[in-house]
A = this chain, B = another copy of it.
Amino acid sequence: MSNAAGAYKALERRFHRLSVLGGVGGILHWDQSVMMPDGGAEARGEQLATLSVLSHELLTAPDMADLLDAAGAEGLADWPAANLALMRRQHAHATAVPADLVEARSKACSKCEMAWRTARKNSDFAAILPHLREVVRLTREMAEIKAAALGLDPYDALLDQYDPGNRAERIDPVFDDLATFLPPLLEAVLERQAAEAPLVLPQGPFPVDSQAALGRRLMAAAGFDFNRGRLDVSLHPFCGGGPDDIRITTRYDEGDFTQSLMGVLHETGHALYELGLPEAPWRHQPIGEARGMTVHESQSLLVEMQACRSPAFLEFAAPLIREAFGVSGPAYEADMLRRLYTRVERGFIRVDADEVTYPLHVILRYRLERAIVAGDLDVADLPGAWNDGMRDLLGVTPPDDRMGCLQDIHWYDGAIGYFPTYTLGAMMAAQLFASATEQQPDILPGIARGDFTPLVGWLRTNVHAHGSRYSADELLDRATGAPLSTAAFKAHLQRRYLGA
């Protein structure tokens, strides 16, 4: 780093400021979802827009290109050089698209998202069609411009925003493999589960305060640091804030504690990643940030699916659950909770889907959005294509568009190219967990006694502390000895669901 003076140091200061402003936006978003009174919405919108504009102005300042070039000539060491490459990437994404297109698209997305809320409720695809058409038109325009500037295919230019460096040609074979593997597995699992004794379900009410206390107890077991974070309530659960002050949310149903509890542990996985990101001098630099949505989702799914839905963890959790609610009986025995938490079904709704069917929901969306971006699928034909895909992949046909192509906010809010990261994250989680437990024999016994220290320690070293130093594939290769493949995920599903 001895040469890292001049232009590079100037860039560090600018990106530091950008990152701090990003953190400000994170708290405002959290507040908007958790605390803000309804009447504050318009003012909050303006605050967030002002921060965006300020950040965009900083990132696209006229002298930025020269600084990036000059820094490139400074002979930087490994981390600064990698940091500079990430700065270049952010700058390229920000400058590629003309400001008026960014603004037009942002407005179209807001409008479409508002209209979607009503259209979904009424299952009225025709009402949303003109709005979605406009979002798709502007997104395709943006994708083409970015593609030309970045030397990518248009779909990859979108995907790259969420999963830096990933490409559709890497995803296609993986998803094709899963699309072949999963339907017969699903059939076998359903058959097996149908032959079991009926589930005994927990019977509420489960007071919100007790659910929150239990959630905090298990978050703490999983390694969440309440000195640097919070658990609160919002309509749509999320993990926000930043590495010094991470905020996760959930939603409670007094009739059923099970979904919220596992949701809390899912968000805890996201939070642990943020809490473990590199400290100064890399904190507030692009290289100190989380490495895209696939890696982020791998961390939440590793904690939720790999660790917390395991029989070992549920053995630990069951007595705490009984104690939290003052209940007893077969519904609260570890094995019954395990059966509940691994129940599989052919559903219509992605966010309610289990571990086996979830990838099929994602593959459907990935194939459709690729066709839309390529111009091979007209938006008007989306409902039909959706239902055809559901029949092919999952063997069910949604009764209406509310349960079909209107269910997710993503496309209607302009997030095209995001969906694949869910399933890539699930695969990455399985691969990381398999290697971690092999390399570090204390991990599984730790989980069984509610002590995640060995697991989190391994993740810190092998994932969190790298920030954005490596691509997702390089990260995985270093941690597990291989780039992303379906093998570990398939093995995990066969073991957990078929005892194979």
If A27-B28, A28-B27, A245-B44 touch, does A228 touch B20 (CB 8 Å cutoff)? Answer: no
Q: In the complex the two chains form, is A228's CB within 8 Å of B40's CB? A: yes
Q: A380 within 8 Å of B by Cβ?
A: no
Cβ-defined partner of A39 (8 Å) among B36, B43, B46, B225? B225
Cβ-defined partner of A38 (8 Å) among B23, B227, B242? B227
Cβ-defined partner of A227 (8 Å) among B37, B225, B242? B37
Q: A101 within 8 Å of B by Cβ?
A: no
Residues from 103 to 159 in A contacting B, C-beta threshold 8 Å: none
Q: In the complex the two chains form, is B20's CB within 8 Å of A47's CB? A: yes
Can you spell out 29 A-B residue pairs with CB atoms less than 8 angstroms apart? Answer: A17-B50, A20-B46, A20-B50, A21-B50, A23-B47, A24-B28, A24-B50, A27-B27, A27-B28, A27-B31, A27-B47, A35-B230, A37-B226, A37-B227, A37-B228, A38-B227, A39-B227, A39-B244, A39-B245, A40-B228, A40-B241, A40-B244, A40-B245, A42-B244, A43-B242, A43-B244, A43-B245, A44-B245, A54-B54
Tell me what chain A mostly uses at the interface: helix, strand, loop, or mixed: helix
Query: Which single residue of chain B is at the shortest CB-CB distance from A244?
Result: B43
Shortest distance from the beta carbon of A1 to any chain B beta carbon, whole Å: 22
Q: A229 within 8 Å of B by Cβ?
A: yes
Residues in B with CB closer than 8 Å to A51 are 24
Question: 9 new A-B pairs (CB below 8 Å) besides A24-B24, A39-B229, A40-B245?
Answer: A20-B50, A23-B43, A23-B47, A24-B47, A24-B50, A37-B245, A38-B227, A39-B225, A40-B228
Shortest distance from the beta carbon of A406 to any chain B beta carbon, whole Å: 29
Shortest distance from the beta carbon of A109 to any chain B beta carbon, whole Å: 21
Q: Type the 1/0 row for A34-66, where 1 means its CB is closer than 8 Å to any CB of B.
A: 011111101110110011001000000000000
